[in-house]
Structure 1
Amino acid sequence: MNQSILFSDQLTWNEEAGMVEFHAQQAGMLIICLVSLDKLSKLNNSSEVSKENAFEQFEEARFDIEEIAESLVEDEAFDEQGRIIIN
């Protein structure tokens, strides 16, 4: 794992995107990352992912999600708003 990219433990629900939001920090820059319910479902082999249990599902796959996000940050795969989206 790249030590120059740090992930916070804080999770929020992004109502506009309908995704779990978490944050990364690289060289002092805050990076908003979003992960879809569909991706959480795939990572956890679960068909029961919803807004209500999304944080629990995120925690079960946190290591994998952070690895994916780290790779996307390193590849500079930001969307038009400067966020990392994991679908």
Structure 2
Amino acid sequence: MNQDILFADIQTWHVERQAISFPAQQAGALIECWVSLSWLQQRTSNSLVSEADIVAAFIHLRFDLEELAEARIEDEDYEQDGSIFIG
């Protein structure tokens, strides 16, 4: 893992966006990363309904998600708002 990109052990479910956000930091800049509910459901092969189940799935897949987000940050594959989206 690239030590220039740090991930905090924080995640937040956003019902209106149907996604979890998790922050990354690179050279002091905060980068908001997102993973969609559909991505989590596809990877777990489960229908995730409750917030607790969704967050648990995220935590279970955290390492893979951080790797994917790191690769996108390194490739500068940002959304228009400067965030990273996995979905």
Aligned Cα root-mean-square deviation (Å):
1.2
How do 1:1-87 and structure 2 match up within 5 A?
1-44=1-44, 46-52=45-51, 53-87=53-87
Q: CA deviation at 1:4?
A: 0.5
Structure 1 residue matching 2:82: 3-state secondary structure: coil
The unaligned stretches of length 5 or more in structure 2 are none
Greater strand fraction, Structure 1 or Structure 2: 1
Structure 1: give runs of 5+ residues left out of the alignment: none
Residues 13-68 of structure 1 deviation map (CA, whole Å, 9 limit, x = unaligned): 22442200000000000000000011112222x22223522110001101110000
Report the AA paired with residue 55 of structure 1. V
TM-aligned CA distance change 1:6 to 1:17, over 3 Å: same
Residues 34 and 85 in structure 1, CA contact (< 8 A), matched pair in contact too: yes
How many angstroms apart in 2 are the aligned matches of 1:38 and 1:18?
Answer: 8
Preserved contact between residue 37 and residue 50 of structure 1 (Cα < 8 Å): no
What's the TM-score, normalizing by structure 1? Answer: 0.90
Q: Distance in 1 between matches of 2:9 and 2:49?
A: 20
Cα distance change, pair 51–85 in 1 and its aligned pair in 2 (3 A) = farther
Distance 1:83 1:9 in 2: 18
SS in 2 for 1:20: strand
Whichever residue aligns with residue 48 of structure 2, its letter is V
Identical pairs, percent: 45
